[in-house]
Amino acid sequence: MPRLTVEGYGTFDVPAGKRLVLAIEQDAQVDILHACGGNARCTTCRVEFIEGEPRRQTVAERDKLAAKGLTGVRLACQIYCDHDMTIRAISRLEGSGRPDPGGTPEAEITPPPEWIE
């Protein structure tokens, strides 16, 4: 079972293969944003990796980060928890001025992932 550490919140066992955005919200109980519902459209689910950043990336994540000029962050909705990870939750509901975090992402990565290794 992979271990997810969220800086300032603790370390949590996460079912292998769970979407990172869901693990942060449901297992670590952190109020991460996911305004587009986990579809690589909004970038509000962005996190900083401290350890265990996955090498592979979806085409949708790469293209969205490039379009927004974002570096040093990853989209939690485009990552599966398949190994131990330590992240910083930098985009949270608290302080965002938003009424809610966004629609709950589906269990599998959407859109259907095309992987860049």
- Give the DSSP letter string of 3-35: EEEETTTEEEE--TTEEHHHIIIIIS---B--T
Q: How distant is the alpha carbon of residue 28 from its chain centre?
A: 12
| Beta carbon nearer to ligand FES, 13 or 114 | 114
| Beta carbon nearer to ligand FES, 5 or 44 | 44
Q: Residue with the closest Cβ to ligand FES?
A: 77
| Beta carbon nearer to ligand FES, 12 or 64 | 64
Q: Are 74 and 49 in contact (CB under 8 A)?
A: yes
Q: Which residue has the tokens 């269990």?
A: 107
Interacting residue with ligand FES among 77, 85, 87, 89 (CB under 6 A)? 77
Using CB under 6 A as the binding rule, whether residue 89 contacts ligand FES is answered as: no
Q: Which residues bind ligand FES (CB under 6 A)?
A: 34-36, 38-45, 75, 77
